[in-house]
A and B are shown apart, each in its own frame.
Chain A
Amino acid sequence: MSTTKPVWNVGDELEGHTLPPVTRLQLIKYAGASGDYNPIHTVDEAAEAAGLPGVIAHGMLTAATMGLPFSPYLEHGYVKELEVRFSGMVYLGDEITIGGRVSEREDSKEGLIYTFEVHASNGESIVTSGTVSFLVFED
């Protein structure tokens, strides 16, 4: 996974990341890996009892996928800050696309910090939006 050190400019668009459709198995795996066993994410009856049309993905799973566009650059830096607002539900079968653009670039003693406005969309509307600040080390 060798990549060159990224350089972005304010206004640059992130290359869109379309994820595979959400599956129940994925939600079961995330429940196990995260320890979030709230059954509205895995059991139809529990979701229906909560007034939902079906199980919904964990918000924190969608939040985690907003870091995916930055994963190829981990050799050169890391996520300093991730901030998300959950605005819509993610259901089984949804194809989520992560997009964003650089909104700010600032110097710090460790290196350049790029702030991206990011959003996760299901094709019709934005389900989660927020910002990711990615620090690129000086050297």
Chain B
Amino acid sequence: MSFKRFIGHRSEPVVNVVEKGAVKKFAEAIGDPNPLYVDEEAARASRYGRLIAPPTFPRTFEYGEVEGLGSPGQGYIHGEHRISYERPLLVGEEVSCYAEVSDYYEKEGREGTLGFLISERVGESPRGERIFTMLDTAVLTPAMRESRGL
């Protein structure tokens, strides 16, 4: 059975909070302690009126699991990543997040058939307005697919 059967499957949304401490730790870890990420006073004086989060911060959220697929993590190669925003992500706000399998296809590689699993992860405000959309391509080698029994 192939990953194809998961196309269109979606996880149950999980509510995440953009935590001030988590954003600070993340900003420091990526080497970008911008005052608008970490200094409340500077952030209050800015056009945003409050702290914002770095563009790649949403990878820290929980998105729930697509049933039967397991959580992504170990066992694949991260091929591509895209994130697009409707507006900046604000510290302190609640974000409802879910994941959906967008596509799966296979291609012949030098060492056998490679699988490409495309998943979309979305963050919405409590009112259902979209804040960001992430699209990730996971590359699965034959050994990786076998270890998952797929």
Contacts and interface: CB of A to CB of B under 8 A. Distances in A.
Contacts of B99: none
A29 B29 contact: yes
B85 interface: yes
B22 interface: yes
Interface residues of A, number: 34
Contacts of B26: 33-34
A75 B73 CA distance: 35
B102 interface: no
Interface stretch (A6-14, A60-68, A99-107, A117-125): A60-68
Interface string A67-96: 110010011001111111110000000000
B78 interface: yes
Contacts of B60: 33-35
Interface residues of B, number: 33
Contacts, number: 98
Contacts of A61: 29-30
B79 interface: yes
A116 B36 CA distance: 22
A61 B81 CA distance: 12
A67 B31 CA distance: 11
B54 A67 contact: yes
A6 B119 CA distance: 34
Interface of B: 22, 25-26, 28-32, 34-36, 42, 46-47, 52, 54-56, 59-60, 73-74, 77-85, 87-88
11 contacts: A19-B31, A30-B30, A33-B22, A33-B26, A36-B73, A64-B32, A64-B54, A64-B56, A74-B36, A75-B46, A78-B87
